[in-house]
Amino acid sequence: MLMEASQNPAIAHLFTQATVSLSDFSALLGNIYQGPMEQVPWGKALEQIRRQLDANYVTLILRSPSTDRPGLMVNASEHGQTLPGEVSYNSYYYSLDPFIGLPSDRVVTIDEHLGHGVWCMSELYQQFLKDIGIRYILGADLRTDDGVECRFRVCRNHDGPDFSTSDKALCTALLPHLKRAVDLHSRIDVVESERTVYASAIDRMLVGMVILDESGTIIKTNAAADEILAAKDGIRMAKGGLDVEYGQENRKFQRVLRQAMMGHVGTAPPVMEAMSITRPSGSAKLGVLVRTIPLSEWSEDNRKRPACVVFIRDPERRSQASHDVVRQLFDLTPAETQLALQLANGLTLDEAADELGISKNTARAHLRAIFSKTGVTRQATLVRMLLSSVISLG
């Protein structure tokens, strides 16, 4: 990164104007690229910029406020990460902000953008920013190739000087790196959103999921797996990994795990193998599927990377299918929906009637109505239709 700056004449010229040491600049770049991984993105980088430029506020507006959605800001200030008046800005004053629509990826001051004297006469300054000590603003608008837009703003109070050429040079040198880091954050956010959707779907389907690294240590579990493992009925956590209750089954399970992990590192074919696990309680056996998580072509040498996943299904766990989803999907009445859900959970018609507190004749009448609306004529076919539909994802 530093070599890139030194080899680009324009950036090198700006960098020589900036009153920042090589080590400070290097630390700034490190914090910018580390920013997407922080709980509050770029908190460290913005605070370092604030101190370097002797500013009272540095803000990265990741999502601009509008009438139909709230804004999202990351702040560094003398007050910490809280910006005085942030709620007021997001709810009203953003509509008065004239420091918007800046030239893409170019650093300018508020006075350059509006003209000398115009800024101090503006409504935003007079009604809002003057009282919280903001007079001078340096800013840039970032637009990535993927369409992400955000705003970078540095502020000083009335007692401080306006931003100098060297201040602008430093921000100009940082801008392309901040833009790349924003692009990385956006892509990570998309991946995380997709992961959340997939994980939620697995949870709704009542499938336990345990992810292990190549040493067999558990990295992550979902809610369904936590409940199954906490019961210690056939399978449990042991020394950071998984253990099966009965010796013969445990030996097979550990062998399958080892094979799956060997497939992860490329020393054997990827594994996908299923087995059942006996439960001491006498409940129905657990169904288990072990699957290799292969390395991608460009994966780093990381022993803590996911190596295999264990899916666990308890056949006695009742479906958490949404009442509303079933009703909407098949146009059922509330009473018909309740009966359909009981049948999907494995109850007979008589058991479902007892569970719902209705007569058997009423249950049969509801079932006939359900048959008519779903187009099936057998209870077994109805249950299969319900279980193979999207109701478990609702």
Q: Please give the span between the terminal C-alpha atoms of the chain, in angstroms, as a whole number.
A: 47
Between β-strands 241-244 and 272-277, what pairing exists: parallel, antiparallel or unpaired? unpaired
Q: pLDDT of 194-221, one tens digit each? A: 988 888 888 888 899 999 999 999 999 9
In this prediction, residue 13 carries a pLDDT of 55
- Residues 378, 327: one domain? yes
- Residues 294, 342: one domain? no
The pTM of the full predicted model, rounded to 2 decimals, is 0.77
In this prediction, residue 16 carries a pLDDT of 60
Q: Is residue 318 part of a domain?
A: no
Residue 176: CB partners within 8 Å, gap ≥ 6? 105
CATH of the domain at 119: 3.30.450.80
- Residues 306, 327: one domain? no
* Ranges in the chain, pLDDT < 70: 1-19, 319-321, 394
In this prediction, residue 91 carries a pLDDT of 82
> Which is nearest to 268 in space by CA: 294, 299, 242?
294
131: how many CB neighbours lie within 10 A of its CB?
A: 11
Q: How many CA atoms lie within 13 A of 391 on its CB side?
A: 26
Q: Is residue 198 part of a domain?
A: no
- Residues 152, 241: one domain? no
In this prediction, residue 394 carries a pLDDT of 64
CA atoms of 172 and 163, how far apart (whole Å):
13
Q: Is 327 helix (H, G, I), strand (E, B) or coil?
A: helix
Q: Is residue 199 part of a domain?
A: no
In this prediction, residue 10 carries a pLDDT of 45
Q: pLDDT of 308-333, one tens digit each? A: 999 999 988 876 667 888 888 889 99
Report the domain count for the chain.
Answer: 3
- Residues 363, 222: one domain? no
Q: Is residue 68 part of a domain?
A: yes
In this prediction, residue 182 carries a pLDDT of 94
- Residues 67, 109: one domain? yes
Exposure of 129 by Cβ count < 10 A (0-12 exposed, 13-18 middle, 19+ buried)?
A: buried
Among 288, 313, 338, the domain-final residue is: 313
